[in-house]
Amino acid sequence: MAEIRTEHPYHAYEAILAQPDRVEQVLAQREAIGRAAQAVAHKERIIFVGIGTSLHAARVAESWLRYFSQGHVLAQVEQSFELIHHPIAFSANDAVVVITHTGTTTASVGVLRMARAAGALTVAITGKVSGEGVRGADFHLETCEQEIPFAYTKSYTTALAVLALMTIRIAEQKNKVAMPARVGELARVPELMREALGLAPQTRGWAALIAQLPRIEIFGSGAAWATASEAALKIKEACYIAAEGFETEEILHGPFSETDSRGSLIGLFTGDAADDRGRQILRAAGDLKMLRAAIAVPAANRELACEEVFVVPECAPWLAAFMHLVPLQLLMYYLAIERRANPDTGRMEQAEHAAASKHYKY
């Protein structure tokens, strides 16, 4: 069992820094991932399943598959607990891709068993040395070592790496068109992530500015919506404050009514048409006296009405799912430092939370 750290650098910090190397290691498994993708592509229906962080990865995978196939291949995303209790009928015409880092998540393992019993093709994407419940999957793809911090980071980005290569290969098989350019773009991710880690001093400064505000809102469109949700979850887990991830348009349909100067706002910009709505949101938030930041690829870094802009490395638009994430993870970490919270523990070192956790298991 890893030691509990009580000061910087926490385990979470080391996990964030390790991501480029771990993604590089995952991409070296291209042949195994390709075999799984080829089998999935022969099925009529593709269902990505997860819960928590893994659900966000499933949502990104669905978005990528739509993008790579130009909308010709559609997948379903299902939350595993809901799928167990409100099931759909699986069949031999289905491919069910279950994402669970530990391989022990009760609901996700249950979905895998349901799918296998119905004759569906099953793929498990897990961390190394994961639970036995996923061992019966038709394909088992491993990402990285098990996480020490409560707030998972490298397990998410390495799962994204598996899913990126998988969805590219599925789209190739379905559309009968090779996409070597996409594979080449993906191969640059470790290098780009290392560059993005250089934003650490800027994110630390922003964390110091907003640390005492009780609320953070993050918005994005497409895969960036899932990224916003994932970042909000990490901030909750590590910093113990209210954080919400919204779809760009959806933030205006109710959530903005309770938005004011007590919160900060972060917009994710990818360089596509949805960015224009995001620019309007930033301007509106300024009238509400919110502290505003944007995370943008270089092509989107214009007319951003905010106090801080984090410019991530230039990359293909779809790779923003990796690039946006790095400064958001760093922000999570430095917010925890500023708030004197331990980003590794999920409050399990506190007696009340430890006692509460005895009533449930994952």
Q: Tell me whether strands 215-220 and 263-269 are parallel, antiparallel or unpaired.
A: parallel
Region at 302 (left for phi over 0; alpha for psi -120 to 50; beta for the rest): beta
Q: Is 103 left (phi over 0), alpha (psi -120 to 50) or beta?
A: left
- Per the document, the length of the chain is 362
pLDDT of the residue at 328: 98
pLDDT at 359 (0 to 100): 86
End-to-end CA distance of the chain: 19
Q: Which residues of the chain have pLDDT under 50?
A: none
What is the structure's pLDDT at 354? 81
- The full 3-state SS of 285-319, as one line of letters, equals HHHCCCEEEEEECHHHCCCCCCCEEEECCCCCHHH
Q: pTM for the full model? A: 0.96
Nearest to 165 by CA among 71, 51, 29: 29
The angle that helices 325-338 and 11-27 make with each other, rounded to 10 degrees, is 170
Domain residue ranges of the chain, discontinuous segments joined by +: 11-187, 194-338
What CATH topology corresponds to 11-187? Rossmann fold (3.40.50)
Q: Can 11-187 and 194-338 be said to share one CATH topology?
A: yes
Cα Rg of the chain, angstroms: 20
State residue 360's pLDDT score. 83
Residue with tokens 């990818």: 270
What is the predicted pLDDT for the residue at 2? 80
Measuring CA to CA, which residue among 302, 275, 307, 280 is closest to residue 291? Answer: 307
| Residue 158 CB neighbours (<10 A) | 26
Looking at residue 1, its pLDDT comes to 63
Do residues 203 and 331 touch, judged by C-beta distance below 8 A? yes
**pLDDT value of residue 198:** 98
Q: Can you identify the CATH homologous superfamily of domain 194-338?
A: Glucose-6-phosphate isomerase like protein; domain 1 (3.40.50.10490)
Three-state SS letters, 263-285: EEEEEEECCCCCHHHHHHHHHHH
pLDDT computed for residue 138 by the predictor: 97
How wide is the angle at C-alpha 244 spanned by C-alphas 239 and 250, nearest 5°?
170
φ/ψ bin of 55: left (φ > 0), alpha (ψ from -120 to 50), beta (otherwise): alpha
- The pLDDT score that the predictor gives to residue 46 is 98
Measure the CA–CA gap between 279 and 315, rounded to whole angstroms. 21
pLDDT of residue 3: 87
Question: CA-CA distance, 209 to 225, in Å (whole number)?
Answer: 24
- The residues that bridge with 359 in the sheet, in sequence order, are none
The helix (H) or strand (E) run that includes residue 95 is strand 94-99
β pairing state of 45-50 and 94-99: parallel
